[in-house]
Amino acid sequence: MSLVLGFLLLASSLVSQEASAFTLPTYIRLTPYQATAEVTNPYSHPIACVVHIEAQRNDGLWQYANVNLGYIPYGYTEYAYIYTGAPFHYVYANGWSDCGYLY
């Protein structure tokens, strides 16, 4: 079994079977060459999230990222990034999160 597959199986086993998935507010900060998504844990126990980012460049190309934020303690903020380089820059970005409780 590969190391990545083993880690994914371990991470998925930590998510409670009784907990349902939920979303959290995902704030997007857009600069010309970077889109940053931030998620803050407001709950009194740790959570795990997958953050989805989509960003459009000035040439019309869309870029996508799905970032696993595997452990977010209470009160902490975690970040996910997507980048582009010159001569292109971002004109639009959006993001959302899929989260679950960890026990």
Q: How much helix, strand and coil, in percent to the nearest 5, is found in the chain? A: 10, 55, 35
Residue with tokens 């600069």: 31
Confidence of residue 103 (pLDDT cuts 50, 70, 90): confident
pLDDT, tens digit, 9 for 90 and up, residues 29-38: 999 999 999 9
Specify the pTM: 0.76
Domain positions in the chain are 3-101
8-state DSSP, 25: -
Task: Show the tokens assigned to 42.
Answer: 């407001």
pLDDT, tens digit, 9 for 90 and up, residues 6-56: 544 445 545 444 456 899 999 999 999 999 999 999 999 999 999 999 999
Q: Which fold has domain 3-101?
A: Immunoglobulin-like (2.60.40)
Could you give the CA distance from residue 20 to residue 83 in angstroms, rounded to a whole number? 32
What is the CB neighbour count within 10 angstroms for residue 97? 24
